[in-house]
Structure 1
Amino acid sequence: MKRPKFFYLIAGFFILAIFLAGCAGQKGNEQGKSAGHPNVLKANWQDVLSQAKGQTVNIYLYGGSESTNNYIDNWVAPRLKKQFGVQLNRVPVNDTKDIINKLVSEKQAGKKDGSIDVMWINGENFLMSKKNNLLWDSFSPKLPNVKKYVNQNSPAIKNDFGEPTQGVEAPWSQAQFVFTYDSNKVKHPPKSAEALKQWVKQHPGKFTYPAPPDFTGSAFIRNMLYETTGGYKQYLKPLDKQTGLDNIVKALWNYLNAIEPYLWRKGETYPESASKLDQLYASGAVWLTMGYDPAHAANEVKDGRFPKSTRTFVLKDGTLSNTSYLSIPFNSPHKAAAMVAINFMLSPKAQIAKSDPENWGALMAIDPNKLSSKGQKQLNAIDRGKATLPSKVLANHRVPEIPAGYVDYLEKGWMEHVAKH
């Protein structure tokens, strides 16, 4: 029997609908395989743990610190694998900006499944990530250990160099700028900008600082900005809200130019990195070095690179402190496993271990007051070494970081007013 034309028309639509549904299902399955549960932020934590099991997390971070690398490779990774079935793969980079550039390239190329699952960032790099929509979503408040142990209302946690974090990064570590000296050579370390100027003039060639934009060198000039222009409070507002800033900052450039002739090599050249400055200190060429890790000097003493007479100090009016964070990129293929890894690294056990110089020696991001009595005893029992200042001394001398927008302004200003002066 001859079938009517509309029968074939209906049959054709039916076949097409089945084909399209199959394609959509296949696409959905492919997305599920690459990105995990599409609603991982809505899933309960047990479901997140189930999704994460068997996945590998690529964590990208600065690779120049042996103590950091040791902590990740030998403490975190084996425990994360054993407890949660998640493999942690550390990918070192020379500069965090390399991570940001990689993500920008992947976004421009439309790469939905990237190679970075977790990255260690803060400051300028966070601001750049946020501006370019390189970060995933507000995952941090969903983590059990953030809910239980992090003071989420603390300004040092809520804002990253003045920029609201909005949950797209989880606090991992805290740092504070300290000066390092050889107590056999420096009997009375200079604890203000003016005292440092006098010391430098009295000991020509024995002090220098890394050239910005090196992170440590840039931090030094920010701290000197506070010292020479009347403190940090005037810089808490955004750069574009400042008036007459060029005139205010002249005091900083005048100060740095005044000490330049008395620096190592008469200020004609500067170390290009903090590690180069450390080498100068270790060899005795200079008597002071500096850095953003209060435990770094103790670790260098322990490893035999710095003399045993090494000690650290902070300025009487305070030194810069900040929080660094772990974040998940927009195209991480293993978001559930990334959340599990970050949550584990924010557990009391992992944070206390991180505080131990035997593992790393970095300051905790979780609130010590939220620890159990057992956890507090473990934290207090850690031997930080003679070169590390007590936590209370550090806490009493913390001043906040400048908003990220100022960093580039100051680094360019240093090149123009000091380096080329």
Structure 2
Amino acid sequence: MFGGTLAGCSGAGDTKGDGGAGTAAGEVDYGDWNAVLEAAKGQTVSWYGWGGDETRNTWIKTVLAPALKEKYDITLDLVGMDINDILTQLSGEMQAGVEEGSIDFIWINGENFYSCKENGYLWGPFTSYLPNFNDFIDGQSPEVEYDFGSPTEGFECPYGKAQMQMWYNSDIVDAPPTTVEEFKAFCQAHPGQVTYPEPGDFTGTAFISCLIAGVVGKDKFEKLSSLENPTEESVLAVVEPGLDYLRDLKPYLWKEGATFPADSSTVATMYADGELILNMGYGAPQDLVKTGQLPESTRSFIFDTGTVGNSNFMAIAANAPHKAAALVAINEVISPEMQLSIYENIGNISVLDMGKLPEADAKAFADVPLGSTQIPLEELLDHRITEAAGPVIPILEKLWLTRVAQQ
């Protein structure tokens, strides 16, 4: 997920679909998919997003891009940039009144999506134009209707799910803890060999969210995904027992909880060096094991009470020069064929509703062979907890700092 926020945005773009009934001569009727396919032919469409995931980049370049070219005569231009630079470019072009900008569609999430939509920098609603969205995605699912608490309202389409998992060294640990009670006992039995990144780091915040949810319960924790105008008081009312648990846990952690590693990469290094026996992250570390960055004995587990997850989304710029090609590309990304390929090659959980798929396609997902670090898809989805809404996150991190770290 991208970090950063869009600040100082003003102005407005056309946030309504510029197709449909009554379109003027030369305009595309985006409600007519055949017309969209025809208009998209020969276009070069740009997909802007974080470029630091080489596995994802390789998949886009070697699987998605060739498919778009062969099937639809669309050339895909993958542009890897930091999200803050993308938002600066988008807002600059919009505020300058550039009718056809440089960005077609964006990998975007959370507060960045909310800010862009509110300022009129996104085009839509568009998901109703997508055949694969209509056929295979549950549009009423909270994970589709909301992005970190912000209503999506058809202005972005999900393309992959991620879920927090814990990783352990099976050469050292026989059986990982599966409840928060067992986790505390595990830390007591291995003093100084377990910790987590300081919340403020995305992984650290997600990990304490898993523990808090395990203490207060899934239903109560998920109220944080729908809090309107959250305050310290309203968030504390939900999470206080979890904060008490985290404070009680501190003496058994690395350096007795007097300090925490600054980020997830530091924790990963400490785990790889044997200083820690537990690590964590979004998804299975299969690629990290394959490349030798983590021990081959690494395995994954989740708590019986669940772990938090989120979705990655795609949105179209309001001044995108190639909207038809953007629609076709997004529709292809959420096709059963591409979603299966993403699951096989990247490890992202599919955004498709398995109950809506033809039997053969659903079976293909179930039949994907799992690596040594991977957890079955059904097990993950059965233990999935919706993350807290975007505005709740900094409040949760502040409460952790004052009521856990500084105590």
TM range (shorter): 0.7 to 0.9
For residues 7-18 of structure 1, what are the structure 2 equivalents within 5 Å? Answer: none
Between 136-145 and 58-67, the greater mean CA deviation after superposition:
58-67
Checking the alignment, whether the CA contact within 8 Å between 2:218 and 2:306 is kept in structure 1 is no
Q: Say whether residues 1:238 and 2:227 are aligned partners.
A: yes
Question: Percent identity among equivalent residues?
Answer: 38
**Quick one: distance in 1 between partners of 2:128 and 2:34?**
16
Secondary structure (helix, strand or coil) at the match of 1:113 reads coil
Distance of aligned partners of 1:63 and 1:80 in 2 relative to their CA distance in 1, 3 Å threshold: same
Cα 1:288–1:376 change in 2 (3 A) is same
Whole-angstrom CA distance in 1 between matches of 2:51 and 2:406: 31
1:320 matched to 2:308? The reply is yes
Task: Give secondary structure in 2 for the equivalent of 1:328.
Answer: strand
Q: Does 1:397 align with 2:383?
A: yes
Match of 1:408 among 387, 394, 405: 394
DSSP-derived class of the 1:88 partner: strand
Equivalent residue, structure 2, for 1:20:
none
Contact 1:173 1:364 in 2 (8 A): yes
Please list, as runs of the form range in 1=range in 2, the aligned pairs for 1:107-118 lying within 5 A after superposition.
107-118=94-105
> Any idea what SS the aligned residue of 1:120 has?
strand
The 5 Å alignment of 1:33-182 reads: 39-40=27-28, 42=30, 44-94=32-82, 96-182=83-169
Q: Answer yes or no: is the 8 Å Cα contact 2:235–2:395 preserved in 1.
A: no
1:385 CA displacement: 1.0
Greater share of helix residues, 1 or 2? 1
Q: Is 1:307 paired with 2:295? A: yes
Instruction: Quickly say closer, same or farther: Cα 1:116–1:267, change in 2 above 3 A.
Output: farther
Output aligned runs, 1:247-396, within 5 Å: 248-293=238-283, 296-356=284-344, 359-396=345-382
Q: Are 1:205 and 2:188 counterparts? A: no
Equivalent residues of 1:181, 1:288 under 8 A apart: yes
Give the drift of 1:313: 1.0
- 1:269 Cα deviation (Å)? 4.5
In structure 1, what is the Cα distance between the partners aligned to 2:48 and 2:280? Answer: 25
Contact 1:100 1:128 in 2 (8 A): no
Q: CA deviation at 1:338?
A: 0.9
Give the letter aligned to residue 281 of structure 2: G
State the number of aligned residues. Answer: 381
Q: Which segment drifts farther, 337-346 or 233-242?
A: 233-242
State the distance in 1 between where 2:322 and 2:367 align: 37
User: Cα 1:370–1:253, aligned 2, differ >3 Å: closer, same or farther?
Assistant: closer
Q: Report which of the two structures shows the higher radius of gyration computed on alpha carbons.
A: 1
In the alignment, what sits opposite 2:202? Answer: 215
Q: What secondary structure is seen at the aligned counterpart in 2 of 1:171?
A: strand
> Aligned AA for 2:337?
K
Q: 1:282 to 1:90 in 2, by over 3 A?
A: farther
Alignment gaps of 5+ in structure 2: 1-24
What is the deviation of 1:268? 4.9
Letter of the aligned partner of 1:328 in structure 2?
I
For structure 1, the residue ranges without an aligned partner over 5 or more in a row are: 1-36
Deviation, 1:308, is 2.2
Confirm or deny: 8 A CA contact 2:179 2:303 kept in the other structure: yes
What is the CA distance between 1:84 and its match in structure 2?
1.5
Per-residue CA deviation, residues 153-206 of structure 1 (Å, 9 max, x unaligned), is 222222222322111111211121111111111222122333222322332332
